[in-house]
Amino acid sequence: MSSTEGVIARYRSYLPVTASTPVVTLREGDTPLLRLRNIEKHLACEAELYAKFEGLNPTASFKDRGMTVAVSKALEEGASAVVCASTGNTSASAAAYAARANLKCVVILPEGAIALGKLAQALLHGAKVLPVAASFDGALEIVRKISSTYKITLVNSINPYRIAGQKTAAFEVCDLMGDAPDYHILPVGNAGNITAYWMGYQEYFDAGKCARKPRMFGFQAEGAAPIVLGRPVEKPETVASAIRIGNPASWESAIRARDESGGEIRAVSDAAILEAYRMLARMEGIFAEPASAAALAGAIQMHAERLLSRGHRAVLTLTGHGLKDPGTALKIVPEQKAVKPDVESIADMLGLKRL
Ligand code: F0G
């Protein structure tokens, strides 16, 4: 089946769907795997670094892989409404897939903590957006309770259909590379994605589709690093708003992914995240959002500790598109001043030589 038909069509036999499941798709998945040659050279890194750019999904984040499955199953099971808590991307994706499925969508968001693009997506797709004076963790608590008491289907990653859909990214990595990489490096927030990738690699290995499994390296932001600290963080803080999470729902399964794969879950500073964010944009032409850049900040940390050597292949998941959060980009670039609309003075300013 062609990869252009979405992840359910492409990986149907690995997913919890039947012939009668109504497939709700926006043709998610099939995202590019890009070699980061300029960054390898800049770091003098002898390992091969690849980015799986999930920002190129239909709503511009990896969430779409899970949402196609979760919303299709919700429809199959007769739901009329879906609900999620979100740091932004899940709400954008839920709102879009719910619109396509003619389902109502309710999103509960930590007030004032969502990147502009994500909020615009959820609103324009017609979701009922309810900001609450709480962190993401508080919002998720509300959503858990509402969905266990009222007729509304939860589509956060504690819904197993979400994880099932998201594991298809690991399948794509193996299909594109011919095998699993040595390392898989990704940001960790609510810890659903690291859980999903590890499930995907294990299933592909068991099916004989890859000959190895990668070591899973997850990176949290220093100010929001509960798994690294070994305890929940009450007031998580980081520039990477997508992973501003203090009590991840999939904590246990993230630890299992780490331990079973021989990997680690570590922290990176906001400064390192922003530096990696800038590097991806300037050196590789990839505009990923700050949370995604935590993966590159992590790879740089691993390189500094000589964990990545010649012959190794490391795949970094760049989870969301940079256009989601233009505010952060504009904060770290020089301010733009208008120039005189005059050819001579512009050429002068640029130091251009005459023909
Ligand atoms: N990167 C981005 C861009 C995200 O939006 C998220 C999570 C993560 C990384 C972390 O993934 O939670 O599976 O460990 N965003 C969720 C949301 C929490 O509500 O959009 P995770």
- For the segment 31-60, the average pLDDT, to the nearest whole number, is 98
Q: Is the C-beta atom of 226 inside 6 A of ligand 1?
A: no
pTM value is 0.97
Contacts of 104 (CB under 8 A, 6+ apart): 80, 81, 82, 98, 128
Rounded CA-CA distance 39/36 in Å is: 6
Question: Which of 53, 59, 61, 194 has most ligand 1 atoms within 8 Å of its beta carbon, as the pocket-test mutant?
Answer: 61
Asked whether the predicted pLDDT for residue 6 surpasses 90, the reply is yes
Q: Is the C-beta atom of 291 inside 6 A of ligand 1?
A: yes
Tell me how far the alpha carbon of residue 25 lies from the centroid of ligand 1, in angstroms: 20
Rounded CA-CA distance 287/42 in Å is: 18
Q: Is the C-beta atom of 87 inside 6 A of ligand 1?
A: yes
Q: Which residue has the tokens 């709102």?
A: 95
Q: Is the C-beta atom of 55 inside 6 A of ligand 1?
A: no
State the closest ligand 1 atom to the C-alpha of 195, by its place in the atom list counted from 1. 13
Look at residue 4 in the predicted model and tell me its pLDDT: 62
Look at residue 3 in the predicted model and tell me its pLDDT: 47
Q: Which two tokens stand for residue 253?
A: 């399964």
Question: Which of 65, 87, 135 has most ligand 1 atoms within 8 Å of its beta carbon, as the pocket-test mutant?
Answer: 87
Cβ neighbour number for residue 252 with a 10 Å cutoff:
11
What value does the mean pLDDT of the chain take? 97
Q: What pLDDT band is residue 1 in, cutting at 50, 70 and 90?
A: very low
Q: Which residues of 22-56 are buried (b: 16+ CB within 10 A; e: fewer)?
A: ebbbbebbbbebbebeebbeebebebbbbbbbbbb
Give the three-state DSSP class for 265: strand
Q: Is the C-beta atom of 220 inside 6 A of ligand 1?
A: no
Q: Is the C-beta atom of 238 inside 6 A of ligand 1?
A: no
CA 175 to chain centre: 20
The alpha carbon torsion through 176, 179, 185, 187 (nearest 10 deg) reads 50
Q: Is the C-beta atom of 242 inside 6 A of ligand 1?
A: yes
